[in-house]
Amino acid sequence: MAKTNFSQTQNDIFELAMDLGRGDFSRHIDDTKVTKRDLENHLRDLINNDMLGGKTLYQAVRRNKIELYEIVEEIVNTTLRENVLNSPFIDAFVEIKDRGLGDSTEFYAEGGLLSVATFAGNHWDTYRQTLDLGDVVTLPKEWIYIHVYEELERFLLGIVGIDKLMDKVYKSINKYIQDRIYAQFNNVANAVPSEFSGSGNTEAALGAIVDKVQAAGGYASMTIAGTKGALRKLAAAVPDKMFANSQKEAKAQTGSIGEWEGNTLMVIPQTLQSGTFNLALSDSKVFILGADVKPIKMEIYGDTRTKSNTDGQANNDMTIDAQIQTKIGIGLLMPQAFGCFEFT
pLDDT value of position 55: 65
The model's pTM = 0.65
- How far is the CA of 35 from the CAs of 23, 24, 26, 40, 41, in angstroms? 12, 11, 8, 9, 10
Would you say residue 251 lies in a domain?
yes
User: What CA–CA distance (Å, rounded) separates 48 from 40?
Assistant: 12
pLDDT value of position 114: 47
- List, in sequence order, the alpha helices (H) in 243-309: 245-254
pLDDT value of position 318: 66
For the chain, percent of residues with pLDDT exceeding 70: 68
Q: Which domain holds residue 248?
A: 95-105+140-344
Residue 333: how many CB atoms within 10 A of its CB? 18
Q: Please, are residues 322 and 148 in contact by the beta-carbon 8 Å criterion?
A: yes
- How far is the CA of 102 from the CAs of 16, 47, 151, 270, 309, in angstroms? 27, 33, 41, 32, 34
Q: Which amino acid is at 302?
A: G
pLDDT value of position 211: 93
User: What CA–CA distance (Å, rounded) separates 15 from 137?
Assistant: 37
Would you say residue 32 lies in a domain?
no
Provide φ and ψ at 166, rounded to 5°: -55, -50
Q: What is the domain count for the chain?
A: 1
Residues 196, 199, 204, 207, Cα dihedral to 10°: 30
User: What CA–CA distance (Å, rounded) separates 110 from 217?
Assistant: 12
pLDDT, tens digit, 9 for 90 and up, residues 81-140: 766 666 777 887 888 888 776 676 666 655 554 445 545 556 566 665 554 555 666 777
Residue closest to 110 by CA, chosen among 93, 92, 135, 130: 135
Would you say residue 116 lies in a domain?
no
Pairing of strands 94-98, 296-300: parallel
- What residues contact 31, with CB distance under 8 A and at least 6 apart? none
For the chain, percent of residues with pLDDT exceeding 90: 4
Would you say residue 317 lies in a domain?
yes
pLDDT, tens digit, 9 for 90 and up, residues 24-46: 777 666 667 777 778 877 887 88
Residues in the chain where the model's pLDDT stays below 50: 1-2, 113-115, 118, 131
Query: How far apart, in Å, do the first and last CA atoms of the chain sit?
Result: 50
Would you say residue 43 lies in a domain?
no
Would you say residue 306 lies in a domain?
yes
Residue 272: how many CB atoms within 10 A of its CB? 12
Would you say residue 272 lies in a domain?
yes
User: What CA–CA distance (Å, rounded) separates 213 from 19?
Assistant: 44
Would you say residue 166 lies in a domain?
yes
Indicate the DSSP class of residue 194.
G
User: What CA–CA distance (Å, rounded) separates 80 from 330?
Assistant: 14
